[in-house]
């Protein structure tokens, strides 16, 4: 059975040093050797670069206190105006998990993982606090406050994931809770003005068939300096090859990754796969109705 640190340090064993580990991880993250290996290095950077989505877990409980430490890490994330507009629910009842799995198109890891967390954008608590202090709360009716709550929730959850991975745990976010927010609210007993932004599975990764590090877009596509620059889409849509623009090169990298991982992704590359995901309201798989649903959950969104 692997030690608690084996997942995050798996690539480190044969490398003989922190900098070598970071260099190897950068190559995996971008699908090609990187000049970034000459920059600063740290164990935390190595852990972050090692991130991958884990959906298969060992039947092994987490150490006592793990949940509470993850919440402490989450609460250490930045929070706009220190309003702390989030809550988290540890879903332990198996039948509730089964119901959430049904909402999420049958993702069985929701039921099987040792720890499942539902992350809540929470404007209910500030409503209660304002009323207790005899202060109005009309500001909560505006889109800005809902956006702040979602940002706070995401920052907190990612802090928890980073902490979990530093322990050797692995996990995967479950955005499919947004397939039916009203049913999720019923399953979790959410009050008005509380919305499940996503779920999170966590546990000890199953070593057999462990997922690979998925390559990301080249930094030339996502990193801009001073002003937003045009993205070079040269040769996107042409036969995948590494000699085109950066997106075309990434399509080729991802085609190799999909083949290596035996993932059933239609031909056409990452760019076409992503474009189809946003092609129409139907492509949102029911989430195009999110705004009226949020209204029924108590969010005015003015």
Domains of the chain from N-terminus onward: 1-50 (no CATH), 66-206 (3.40.109.10), 229-277 (no CATH)
Distance CA 26, CA 41 (A): 11
Paired with 233 in beta bridges are: none
**Is residue 85 within 8 Å of residue 126, measured between CB atoms?**
yes
Give the chain's mean pLDDT: 90
- Statement: residue 289 has pLDDT above 60: yes
Q: How confident is the model at residue 2 (pLDDT cuts 50, 70, 90)?
A: very low
Q: What average pLDDT does the segment 90-101 reach? A: 98
Instruction: For residue 130, give Cα distances in angstroms to 120, 123, 195, 252, 297.
Output: 19, 11, 19, 54, 19
Report the pLDDT value the prediction gives residue 1, as an integer from 0 to 100.
33
Share of the chain above pLDDT 90, in %: 74
Give the residues across from 173 on adjacent strands: 200
pLDDT of amino acid 34:
77
Could you tell me which residue, 18 or 73, shows the higher pLDDT?
Answer: 73
What is the rounded average pLDDT of the residues 116-121? 99
Taking only the tens place, the pLDDT of each residue in 190-232 is 999 999 999 999 999 999 878 899 999 999 999 999 999 988 8
Closest CA to 269 of 256, 260, 279: 256
Q: What is the pLDDT of residue 239?
A: 56
- Is the pTM above the cut of 0.85? yes
- Given a cut of 70, is residue 108 above it in pLDDT? yes
d(CA 198, CA 153): 9
CB 61 within 8 A of CB 92: no
CB 210 within 8 A of CB 48: no
pLDDT of 280 above 90: yes
* Cβ 52 vs Cβ 213: under 8 Å: yes
Residue with tokens 């920059």: 39
Instruction: Identify whether the C-beta of residue 156 lies closer than 8 Å to the C-beta of residue 75.
Output: yes
pLDDT > 80? residue 160:
yes
């Amino acid at each position: 059975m692997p030690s608690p640190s084996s997942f995050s340090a798996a690539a480190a064993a044969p490398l003989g040093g922190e900098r070598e580990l970071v260099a190897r991880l950068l190559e995996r993250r971008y699908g090609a050797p990187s000049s970034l290996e000459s920059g600063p290095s740290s164990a935390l950077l190595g852990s972050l670069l090692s991130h991958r989505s884990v959906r298969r877990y060992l039947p092994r409980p987490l150490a006592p206190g793990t949940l509470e430490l993850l919440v402490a890490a989450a609460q250490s994330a930045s929070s706009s105006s220190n309003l702390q507009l989030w809550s988290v629910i540890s879903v332990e009842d198996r039948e509730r998990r089964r119901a959430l799995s049904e909402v999420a198109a049958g993702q069985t890891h929701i039921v099987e993982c040792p720890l499942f967390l539902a992350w809540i954008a929470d404007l209910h608590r500030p409503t209660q606090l304002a009323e207790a202090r005899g202060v109005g709360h009309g500001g909560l009716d505006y889109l800005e406050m809902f956006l702040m709550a979602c940002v706070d929730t995401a920052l907190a959850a990612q802090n928890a994931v980073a902490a979990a991975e530093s322990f050797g745990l692995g996990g995967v976010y479950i955005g499919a809770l947004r397939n039916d927010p009203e049913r999720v609210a019923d399953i979790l007993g959410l009050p008005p003005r509380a919305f499940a932004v996503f779920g999170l599975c966590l546990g000890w990764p199953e070593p057999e068939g462990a997922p690979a590090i998925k390559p990301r877009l080249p930094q030339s596509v996502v990193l801009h300096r001073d002003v937003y620059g045009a993205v070079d889409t040269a040769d996107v849509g042409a036969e995948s090859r590494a000699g085109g623009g950066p997106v075309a090169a990434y399509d080729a990298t991802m085609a190799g990754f999909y083949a290596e991982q035996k993932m059933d992704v239609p031909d056409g590359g990452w760019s076409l796969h992503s474009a189809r995901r946003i092609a129409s309201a139907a492509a949102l798989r029911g989430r195009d109705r999110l705004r009226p649903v949020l209204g029924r959950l108590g969010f005015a969104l003015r």
